[in-house]
Structure formats: C-alpha cells, structure tokens
Amino acid sequence: MRLLLATALICLASQGFARDWSDADPQLSAWFRTLMQPDNPQMSCCGEADAYWADDVQVVGDKVFAIITDDRPDEPLGRKHVPVGTKIEIPARKYKFDRGNPTGHTVVFLSRNLDVYCFIQNGGV
C-alpha cells in the first residue's frame, strides 16, 4: 500500500511541473492522461513529464532494452534529463498494448529514479 501511495505522489508531483498541454493535440493529450500501468491498472503511467522517446530497442538474450532517443528540451516538459543513448531495461510486466500509440515514437515512462512505469511501442492509434 505504501508503494502505491508513493508512486501516486511521485506521478502527481511530476505532473505538477509538466508543461501545460492545453495547446497540444487534444487526442494526444487525452491519450497521455488516460494511460494506466499494465501491471497495476489503478496507477497512471504518469504523463508527458515522464515520457521519453525510445525509438531504438535492443534485445539481449531474454532482456529488452529501450534506448533513449528523445532530444526534446526537458525544461518545457518539466522532466528530468535523461541523456540520448541511455539504455533502460524494460521489465516484461511494463509492456502496454491496449491503448495504441498516436505519438509516432516508442515511449518509455520513467520515474525520477529511472524506474519504468510503462513501455509502449510505436504503432497506430
């Protein structure tokens, strides 16, 4: 229960510093707001401030790694800087397939400690 509360507070705090998406595509903004973690459907994937493009994916043995390719400026998004080229191991329980992906990018949602909230591969709405 403490873990759930801590995760919720982290998501709320990071979203509090996130960019105002009122000028963004309403469909894309709604997609970000409604994503829930696949292994914990009561918890959000968080939001744009936790989302990083990871268009390079590598499989090594039985492990999958997302490579950060996101070179967008961090400050307007209110997010922690994660350097391009950072390799993030994706736990199998964090794959999300049920909501499509309208971003045009593979997206990994990360905590401030680089724990994975959700991983969504590129592909259609």
**Does residue 100 surpass a pLDDT of 90?**
no
Query: Structural domain boundaries of the chain?
Result: 2-120
CA distance 31 to 19: 15
Whose tokens are 């967008």? That residue is 72
Stated pTM of the model: 0.80
Q: What is the mean pLDDT of residues 97-107?
A: 90
Q: How much of the chain exceeds pLDDT 90, in percent?
A: 57
CA distance 65 to 16: 29
**Does residue 77 surpass a pLDDT of 90?**
no
Q: Give the Cα-Cα-Cα angle 111, 7, 97 (nearest 5 degrees).
A: 70
CA distance 18 to 13: 9
**Does residue 86 surpass a pLDDT of 50?**
yes
pLDDT tens digits, one per residue of 43-74: 999 888 899 999 999 999 999 999 999 999 99
Mean pLDDT for the chain overall: 83
The confidence score (pLDDT) of residue 73 equals 94
CA distance 81 to 43: 23
The confidence score (pLDDT) of residue 106 equals 96
What letters, b where the CB count within 10 A reaches 16 and e where it falls short, cover 46-66?
bbbbbbbbbeebeeeeeebeb
Of 94 and 23, which is predicted with more confidence? 94
Q: What is the mean pLDDT of residues 26-46?
A: 89
